């Protein structure tokens, strides 16, 4: 399993993660695309919210609204993203709890964490999915320019 992330979606996450996140606040949103057995394509990211320095939360109503929007757009809601400005792409304990709730409802959802202030592309973005047993694991992200 891997992620194919299209530039447009990547740019949306970076743009809202930097321009709107001063002073270094987290931002969060949803990801639209196409899931298959081998990969998840992410065509669009939609910014929804700004949070605190190390906390941002999407409400169930945000997810529901995005789900309805995906139907209208003729695409799928494939996951959520949020930023960790300048503190890396490892999930926090809150992130893990949030994803356990989401994975109960939607086992194939992906969680992307992005550090918009990180210069090194390898440590700038990470994608996490759930195994069938419910363990979290990191999968490769390919940015398609």
Give the H/E segment covering residue 53.
Answer: none
Going edge to edge, which strands form the sheet with 125-130?
136-139, 125-130, 110-114, 76-83, 27-35, 39-50, 2-6, 141-144
Residue in this structure with the two tokens 């989401």, named with its chain if needed: 102
Q: Which two tokens stand for residue 17?
A: 């993660």
Q: Which stretch binds Zn ion (CB under 5 A): 36-44, 61-69, 91-99, 129-137?
A: 91-99
95 binds Zn ion (CB under 5 A): yes
Chain residues 110-129 in contact with Zn ion, contact rule CB under 5 A:
none
Task: Work out how close the CB of 34 gets to Zn ion at its nearest, in angstroms, rounded to a whole number.
Answer: 25
Q: Which one of 33-41, 86-94, 96-104, 122-130 is the stretch in contact with Zn ion (CB under 5 A)?
A: 86-94
Q: Which of 92, 106, 108, 118 binds Zn ion (CB under 5 A)?
A: 92
Query: Measuring CA to CA, which residue among 7, 16, 145, 1 is closest to residue 85?
Result: 16
Give min distance, CB of 68 to Zn ion, in A: 25
DSSP codes of every residue in 125-136:
EEEEEE-TTS-E
Shortest reach from residue 36's CB to Zn ion, in Å: 27
Q: Which residues bind Zn ion (CB under 5 A)?
A: 92, 95
């Amino acid at each position: 399993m891997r992620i194919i992330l299209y530039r447009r979606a990547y740019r949306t996450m970076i743009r809202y993660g930097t321009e709107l996140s001063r002073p270094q606040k987290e931002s969060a949103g949803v990801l639209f695309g196409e899931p298959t057995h081998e990969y998840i394509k992410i065509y669009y990211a939609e910014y929804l919210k700004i949070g605190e320095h190390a906390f941002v939360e999407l409400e169930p109503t945000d997810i529901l609204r995005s789900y309805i929007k995906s139907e209208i757009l003729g695409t799928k809601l494939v996951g959520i993203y949020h930023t960790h400005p300048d503190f890396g792409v490892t999930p926090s304990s809150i992130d893990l709890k949030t994803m356990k709730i989401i994975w109960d409802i939607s086992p194939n959802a992906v969680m992307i964490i992005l550090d918009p202030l990180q210069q090194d592309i390898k440590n700038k973005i990470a994608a996490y999915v759930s195994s069938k047993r419910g363990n979290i694991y990191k999968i490769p992200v390919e940015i398609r320019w």
